[in-house]
Amino acid sequence: MTQTPLSYKDAGVDIVAGDALVERIKPLAKKTMREGVLAGIGGFGALFEVPKRYKEPVLVSGTDGVGTKLKLAFEWNMHDTVGIDLVAMSVNDVLVQGAEPLFFLDYFACGKLDVDTAAAVVGGIARGCELSGCALIGGETAEMPGMYPAGEYDLAGFAVGAVEKSKILTGQNVQTGDVVLGLASAGVHSNGFSLVRKCIERAGANAPALLDGKPFKQALMEPTRLYVKNVLAALAAYPTGIKALAHITGGGLLENIPRVLPEGLAAHLVKGSWPKTELFAWLQHTAGIDDVEMNRTFNNGIGMVVVVAADQAEACAATLRAAGEAVYAIGRIAPQGEGAQVVVA
């Protein structure tokens, strides 16, 4: 008995759709090209030459995903900004070492490839790269039947940056009296969404129509803010003043700031020194959690922390504000004593 031939498409993998996606991606990636790119999308490996303006370049890498925020993207059919989240989660991490992000690669995995959805996601990735001056030079699209439910996908990303060896930010020169500046977040960013989704479920039909003047779904899906260009400009303007940066991601203010503080020092943050948005007020009320849990779970309105010498803090804040950041003096560095490394009071 002759069996019917089986093709890769019969098994659930559509090579034609994959090729169509690559053609859709190419012009998006082209917009992100920058100095150093030797070969990008389409090859087996992407080639990048570290710019010759670096004398002693040190490469800094970071990788991340978007987490369960993707579940809302599936449910609400909002795919055009999660790519920005993906880029931001890695490039903001690279930035805190004082590094300039150079290039980015993404990994998009699904059960069945929907070209329009994938193109919307990668469009967001390209936009995130463009906004952070980072080249999108490669990636992988994996269609794996049976691995993901229909209409769902997963994302991962990888960024590489460079910094002069003499200019690496380690936080080791942070000292008592330094000022802690907080740069406003755009919203929840990409952490805490397992709790966010529980809040949405609990609120049900009683969820507000608007939060901070934005439609409810848009307020929650607002992408992670890209701090790269403005903070790099501030680092160039205040090379000795800025001593440490902390990207406020999973673990919130309480667990991320200690990562850049020397042993024996603590950040004393002043409660109420930055605005509490309707979004975070709603999350706290709906979840029924205290301030400590809020500051440990969410960025709570501060997406990036800048530790700066007291005599340059005001000028540094003014520079960042002029570039478009909402900046707040939220605390100071002090001896730790017997307490935690971050105190909010």
In DSSP notation, 285-333 reads HHHT--HHHHHHHS-TTEEEEEEE-HHHHHHHHHHHHHTT--EEEEEEE
Q: How far apart are the C-alpha atoms of 171 and 161, rounded to whole Å? A: 18
CA distances, 122 to each of 32, 35, 71 (Å): 12, 22, 17
Closest CA to 244 of 128, 252, 234: 234
Domains of the chain, by residue range, sit at 15-167, 179-344
pLDDT number for residue 228: 98
pLDDT number for residue 339: 87
Q: How far apart are the C-alpha atoms of 161 and 167, rounded to whole Å? A: 13
Residue with tokens 């469009």: 123
99: β partners? none
**Residue 115 CA neighbour count, 13 Å, CB half:** 13
pLDDT number for residue 78: 97
Q: Tell me the three state secondary structure of residue 148.
A: coil
pLDDT number for residue 103: 97
Closest CA to 256 of 222, 304, 291, 289: 304
Residue with tokens 């670096």: 54
For the chain, which residues score pLDDT lower than 50?
none
% pLDDT > 70, the chain: 97
Q: What is the pTM of this model?
A: 0.93
Q: Which residues, including other chains, have CB under 8 Å from residue 340's CB and lie 6 or more apart? A: 254, 266
Class of the domain covering 15-167 = alpha beta
Superfamily of domain 179-344: PurM-like C-terminal domain (3.90.650.10)
Tokens of 284: 């706290």
Closest CA to 131 of 222, 63, 62, 226: 226
Q: How far apart are the C-alpha atoms of 201 and 207, rounded to whole Å? A: 9
Q: How far apart are the C-alpha atoms of 46 and 40, rounded to whole Å? A: 5
pLDDT number for residue 24: 83
pLDDT number for residue 229: 97
Phi-psi region of 109 (alpha: psi -120 to 50; beta: other; left: phi over 0): beta
pLDDT number for residue 19: 80
Tokens of 309: 């010498």
Contact 193/71 with Cβ under 8 angstroms? yes
- Other beta carbons within 10 angstroms of residue 217's beta carbon come to 16
Residue with tokens 């010498």: 309
